[in-house]
Amino acid sequence: MHTISTNAYGADLAPIPSLSGPEWPHVSHIAIQECGERLLPMSLAPSPIKVFPAYARLGIPGAIPECFVREGVYRALLAAARSLPPGVHLLVLDGWRPWRVQQYLFDTLHEAIHHNHPNASEDELLARTREFVSLPSRDPAAPSPHLTGGAVDVTLCDADGLPLDMGTLFDEAIPASHTDHFEQLGELPPSQQQVRDNRRLLYHAMQQQGFTNLPSEWWHFDLGDQLWAHYGGHRQACYGPAELDTIENRWRRQIS
């Protein structure tokens, strides 16, 4: 039986609910009423937010050395971070993602799965790839979540910036990365209880600020995009595909 736990920080944490993966055909048909919010760099945020643009640090082609999110996401992340117990910080790993990076991640994971399962059909490969990386899409009616600036990848860290143990690394494409994984294992040793409680702490801090979670990834949360509308029961999304406001784009708009 799942029970509310009190973790090392003294917070009462309810179990993470078990949800099914997204029905992508349904998600992609959710209407988007673009609200026009700007993208903001998370490096502007004060403590207790910390920022580590993981893909740029890993040398992923096309990755940018910053984590941009929509303004509403920025403010909700700050609120989530401020709700955490003393000594625990929110660490932002990725936000708005260039299409080129989305394509690279999808192709790389698809190739890795095909290498390990050479007899799998294309439908099977696609399903397993989409479990952890969404289809690269710039379609205004069905963009990749990270292309909207509404999807964000986060974890928890201590006051020194060291990530807490969440049971898997960020972006590990394995069953243990499913958000509810440790809720399903029954009696846990103390080390795994701490992992479970760390996930609970992150999940509830984000949920209380309006975020929804992608069930296959404990680190992935959405606000305002189609996945958020799907899991939050909203009639429409408010974030479509977004682009950075570069100097080149500004000049093109300003010069007549």
Average pLDDT over residues 176-185: 96
For residue 252, the model assigns a pLDDT of 72
| % the chain with pLDDT above 70 | 94
Given the residues 111, 124, 217, 248, select the one marked as catalytic.
217
Q: How many CB atoms lie within 10 A of CB 1?
A: 4
Annotated binding site: 146, 153, 220
For residue 2, the model assigns a pLDDT of 47
Dihedral sign of CA atoms 36, 39, 44, 47 in order: positive
Rounded-to-integer distance, Cα 182 and Cα 174, Å: 13
Annotated binding site for Zn(2+): 146, 153, 220
* Domains within the chain, CATH numbers bracketed: 5-254 (3.30.1380.10)
Out of 41-55, 104-118, 133-147, 192-206, pick the least confident.
104-118
Residue 221's φ and ψ, nearest 5 degrees, are -130, 150
Q: Say if residue 7's pLDDT is above 60.
A: no
pLDDT tens per residue, range 217-252? 999 999 999 999 999 999 999 999 999 987 777 777
Q: Say if residue 180's pLDDT is above 70.
A: yes
For residue 4, the model assigns a pLDDT of 46
217 is known as an active-site residue:
yes
Which residues lie closer than 8 Å to 67 by C-beta, 6 or more apart?
41, 42, 43, 51, 53, 92, 93, 94, 95, 96, 152
Of residues 110, 103, 158, the one with CA closest to residue 130: 110
DSSP state, 119? Answer: T
Rounded-to-integer distance, Cα 28 and Cα 230, Å: 10
- pTM for the model: 0.91
For residue 245, the model assigns a pLDDT of 81
Q: Say if residue 104's pLDDT is above 70.
A: yes
Average pLDDT of the chain, as a whole number: 92
| % the chain with pLDDT above 90 | 75
pLDDT tens per residue, range 125-159? 888 887 788 888 999 999 999 999 999 999 999 99
13 by DSSP, 3-state: which? strand
